[in-house]
Amino acid sequence: MIPIAVVVCVMGGWCTVYLADTLLRSSSSVKNRYESWLSSNGFTLSPFHIKWHTGIFNRLFARCAHLNPHFLYIWFSAGMVFGVLAMFGSVVLLSKTLLQTLHQMMADTPDGSHEQVLQVVVPGVNLPVSQLAYFFIAILVSGVIHEFGHGVAALREQVRLNGFGMFMFVIYPGAFVDLFTTHLNLISPVQQLRIFCAGVWHNFMLCVVALSFLFLLPIFLFPFYYTGAGALVTEVVEGSPSSGPRGLFLGDLITQLEDCTVRGVQDWHSCVQHLSHNPQTGYCVHTAKLHLSYTQGRAFKRLDGTMECCGNNSLTDLCFSYSNNVESKLFACLPVRKTIEASRTCHTNTDCQTDFTPSLCLIPSLENQTRLIRVKHPPQTDMLFVGYSSHLQYSVSLTNFVPRLGFLHPDLPVMLETFCKYPSNAVSIYIIINFQSIFTAILQAPYFVDSLLKRKT
């Protein structure tokens, strides 16, 4: 959930602004100057809402609208086609989302295996509070690019631009262009479509640029960061199974999970999924390590049917199962780190018959869905994780980029990656926002053509 401190700061900030505005307006000595300053600078204040309108960018919009008329005609015509197709695509996505929601509402037991196509972003629920800044900056940048497209397209279609503005509603930032409505209503529906679709088209191109930059990020950062050597730890959740004296630390480079090689973050997730969906890995242990003192003790069944032979809940010992030529299944309580240190992985005794030293395949006897995972992060000692694989997967934050120099911060590539992923979310938002305008222009097109034909006759 959203931290109380964030809510208090937001509410306190807006209350301070509104209180200061009320005091200045009620003061007879500064009221006129204050309101004159607000009016001359284009500011408008209301509870939890501030708006700024200006005309200083009108020349910039005009210059962009007259750079290359032929190119701009092709550019905004392509945007018109994309906008119309995207509008119908958004209808399909909204319909599918509605059907999924109704199906979940009518189902006796909710099915969480299928995620919805479109999901509402709720800060603190499905949007981490730590990424709020990325989200709102991306929304602001996408809004400015969106309105820039509307403004340039409008001037190209001979629609007067009164000004450009930005606003803040509670914590949601945005932008807008002020077009002369009379001019907008006089032009043809095709021209209107070019204007209405220009914003979405620019958002789509911003998404293409962001994804291209994300794809080429290893090349851009090559002089400062290298990739392919492993997954670099950037954060460890405090109190998680991955923390502690024998756990992971900031700057550790994970290279292997059991016998699964890790060259990056994607390999990390793939290896964790592979280990969680396959039987527990065993370890080749020399028979000399199976001391009699360790093997003594009676094994008993847990509630889930698995076997336990370490009854003292030791933090260093673990119950292993194995078989020999005499008995099919035996159990031994062994010190886990000493037992599996430098041991090869196996699934049967046959996997261990590769040298002259007699070895057996010992498999940890753990509860269902629980795994023993050996995490290699040289030069540190291997981390031994016992628990659910998902707890290991989500208790650390990783990056593919390893700094070449000590003063380079490992979080910089993470920040660039995260920021590049958010503009793509704005495309669907602005398609839905411009849905009505695009649909109205399409409906008006037949009537406009019919009126032209009547004029000619």
- What's the half-sphere exposure (Cβ side, CA atoms, 13 Å) at 427? 22
337: number of Cβ within 10 Å: 15
Task: Tell me if residue 147 is catalytic.
Answer: yes
Tell me which DSSP letter residue 197 carries: H
Compute the Cα dihedral for 204, 206, 207, 209 and give only its sign. positive
Q: Are 47 and 14 in contact (CB under 8 A)?
A: yes
Separation between Cα atoms, residue 425 and residue 419, nearest integer Å = 11
Strands laid side by side in the 161-169 sheet = 43-46, 49-54, 161-169, 172-179
The burial of 97, by beta-carbon neighbours within 10 Å (0-12 exposed, 13-18 middle, 19 or more buried), is given as middle
Q: Distance between CA atoms of 400 and 410, rounded to whole angstroms?
A: 10
Cα→Cα distances 236→98, 145, 233, Å: 38, 36, 7
From CA 206, how far away is CA 140, in angstroms rounded? 13
What backbone torsions phi and psi does residue 320 show, to the nearest 5 degrees?
-120, 145
Catalytic site residue from 115, 147, 367, 417: 147
Paired tokens of 159: 């629609």
How far apart CA 62 and CA 154 sit, in angstroms, is 10
Judge contact between 149 and 83, C-beta under 8 A.
no
At which residue do the structure tokens 């509870």 appear?
Answer: 47
- The per-residue DSSP string of 74-127 comes to HHHHHHHHHHHHHHHHHHHHHHHHHHHHHHHHHSSS---SS--SS----BTTTB
User: Distance between alpha carbon 92 and the CA centroid of its chain, in Å?
Assistant: 24
- What token pair was written down for 248? 């992971």
Cα separation, 87 vs 442, whole angstroms = 11
* CA–CA separation, 288 and 9 (whole Å): 64
Q: What is the CB neighbour count within 10 angstroms for residue 359?
A: 21
Length of the chain: 457
d(CA 317, CA 325): 25
Catalytic residue set: 147
